[in-house]
Structure 1
Amino acid sequence: MGCDGGTIPKRHELVKGPKKVEQVDKNAALAARWNYCAISQRPLRKPIVACELGRLYNKDAVIEYLLDTSPEKCIIVTATHIKNLKDVKQLNLTDNPTWKGDKANTKGDKYEDLQRAAFICPVVGLEMNGRQKFCYLHACGCVFSERAMKEIKTEVCHKCGESFNEDDVIVLNGSKEEMADLQRKMEERKLKAKLLKKARKSKTTETVVKSALTEAKSSSTSTASGKACKLASGITKRSHTETGEKSEAYKSIFTSHSSAKRAREEKPNWITHTAYYY
């Protein structure tokens, strides 16, 4: 039965064991994370942006992803948290003067050193190839190695001089634990921004309402004062004609006045001077 010639099969030849877990090449994984866009899987080219979780993207790839609103849009796991361009920060990278890029091996007959990188740390000169931890400042977007941030502790950026705090330091392509910590900080930052926006909106509304009430109160006060002035002037005018003493000229119009009585008493009886008697 297949064992002619006195051959003795071994156990692993007859019994199939569990499949071996495929191991990913660490160098290839680092090159994929640090040299290629997390959305389009194309080589990283300036302008390069990073999200609050530390992933690297080409800016044009992010814009294309956001502009695609079709129902058939492919949802990319590494970009589900990106809703607009405010969720990413454009990086201020330092070029590596020794980097030749794709021009060094146009024919494909030369050895490519995967540890070479297009960007370096501007403080200590380490290459950004994934061998050393790198981070960027959310306030300004400048990129440094973690070694530089630990050796030269400061509260201002080494490159542009802008101030920052500890929460502004975001690790690029960090471990699972670091990604979870960045996820928590991102949610806290968004919640804080939302509450601040709501507070500003309510404060603005309150200010508008107060100003409107003040204007309405001032207008009603001025209207009431105007009516009071008109009423007072009318009362003053009526007081002279209705409630006050009548003038002598006004009284002389009527027959009850003393001048009319005196004139009637002084007037003689009616006499016909040219009487005609026939």
Structure 2
Amino acid sequence: MGCDGGTIPKRHELVKGPKKVEKVDKNAELAAKWKYCALSQEKLKRPIVSCELGRLYNKDAIIEYLLDKTAERPNTDAVTHIRGTRDIKELNLTDNPEWEGERRNTKGDRYEDIYCGMFICPVVGLEMNGKHRFCYLQTCGCVFSDRALKEVKTEICHKCGDPFQNADIVVLYGTKEESEKLREKMEDRRAKAKTKKSKKSKAAESMPPPSDAKETKQVPNGSLENGGESSQSDQAGTSGASQISSNGDKPAAAASKRSIQEMQEKSEAFKSLFTTHSSAKRTKDQTSNWVTHTPYHF
């Protein structure tokens, strides 16, 4: 059975079979992981941060998410484990000298290498494009290839010289097993920090509060007497006035006070500096019969 133009339709044109499952392009997947932010899906630009699970983000996108978590975003599942800026680490990346930027092929007259990465390993020189395994150190944030850490074994960072341990190494975009191990490691670290914080709070609560009670002194007759409740004498102008208690005995603190003018070891020039000296006292002719409470002569 033909059509108007004499064509004969084939079987696959008349019978609709099952749809083919679309396969994800590996090159596009690698480009999406290593060149775009996991939260905003924008191109990575400095400053770049990473979480404890080894994902790459733009720092601006993470800060916007932390400031307003109620806003609707497409990929919030990738940042649910980030509680604050302490859960991220700013990466110290090494620029690739062969990277020409976004406008390297505006005319379309040259071959565009999709595997050319913006950053490289400072030790081996491998490009960070998804083909090679890369790691970063939680202590300093420097990024290296896994090959560099295996070939040049050391306990000091190759780039900045800070010491680190194997537990500080975090794999960037590792396999499912590696990401699960990193998640377990993250949960264990947070649980330990929570227990330490609870222990500190319990220890602070168990400490007795400081007593505000005044110090008491023992009187010779055996009764306790408060040093702040002793009566003061009514004599003015003498700093060596004694404090007398209700039973007539002088406390030890009051006995230690004496006037500067009575100190024989002090010179007359030193004694004249104080108002208790005879030269500082005025006669009745020198004193005025009125006092200005709010003087404006200063």
Distance 2:196 2:74 in 1: 34
Distance 1:71 1:169 in 2: 33
Change (3 A) 1:64 1:168: same
Q: Does 1:223 align with 2:216?
A: yes
| Residue number in structure 2 paired with 1:241 | none
SS at match of 1:195: helix
Distance 2:131 2:52 in 1: 21
| Residue number in structure 2 paired with 1:181 | 181
Change (3 A) 1:71 1:102: closer
Q: Does 1:131 align with 2:131?
A: yes
RMSD: 3.2
How many pairs align?
229
Change (3 A) 1:68 1:75: farther
Q: Is the 8 A contact 2:123 2:144 kept in 1?
A: yes
| Counterparts of residues 43-192 of structure 1 (less than 5 Å) | 43-70=43-70, 72=72, 76-192=76-192
Q: Does 1:202 align with 2:195?
A: no
Distance 2:187 2:224 in 1: 66
Shift of 1:229: 4.7
**107-116 vs 49-58, greater mean Cα deviation:** 107-116
Shift of 1:85: 1.1
SS at match of 1:103: coil
Shift of 1:227: 8.6
Deviations 1:119-147 (A, max 9, x none): 11111111111100001011111100000
Distance 1:51 1:231 in 2: 65
Shift of 1:83: 1.8
Change (3 A) 1:20 1:52: same
Distance 2:159 2:57 in 1: 22
For the pair shown, the structure with the greater C-alpha radius of gyration is: 1
Distance 1:176 1:16 in 2: 37
SS at match of 1:178: helix
Shift of 1:108: 4.0
Q: Which amino acid aligns with 2:216?
A: T
Change (3 A) 1:229 1:118: same
Distance 1:57 1:47 in 2: 9
Distance 1:99 1:227 in 2: 91
Q: Which amino acid aligns with 1:77?
A: D
SS at match of 1:57: strand
Q: Which amino acid aligns with 1:35?
A: K
- Higher percent of residues as helix: 1
Shift of 1:182: 0.9
Q: Is the 8 A contact 2:99 2:116 kept in 1?
A: yes
SS at match of 1:112: coil
Deviations 1:161-188 (A, max 9, x none): 2222222111101111111111111111
Change (3 A) 1:231 1:74: same
Deviations 1:8-33 (A, max 9, x none): 965x6665443222111111110110
TM-score by length of 1: 0.71
Change (3 A) 1:60 1:71: closer
Shift of 1:201: 2.8
Q: Which amino acid aligns with 1:52?
A: E
Shift of 1:65: 1.4
Q: Is the 8 A contact 2:216 2:224 kept in 1?
A: no
Higher relative contact order (CA 8 A, sep 6+): 1
Distance 1:2 1:99 in 2: 58
TM-score by length of 2: 0.67
| Residue number in structure 2 paired with 1:258 | none
| Percent of aligned pairs with the same amino acid | 56
Distance 2:190 2:221 in 1: 57
Distance 1:64 1:71 in 2: 10
Distance 2:84 2:182 in 1: 18
**38-47 vs 188-197, greater mean Cα deviation:** 188-197
Distance 2:224 2:62 in 1: 73
Change (3 A) 1:200 1:227: farther
Q: Is the 8 A contact 2:38 2:75 kept in 1?
A: no
Unpaired stretches in structure 2, ≥5 consecutive residues: 226-244, 250-298
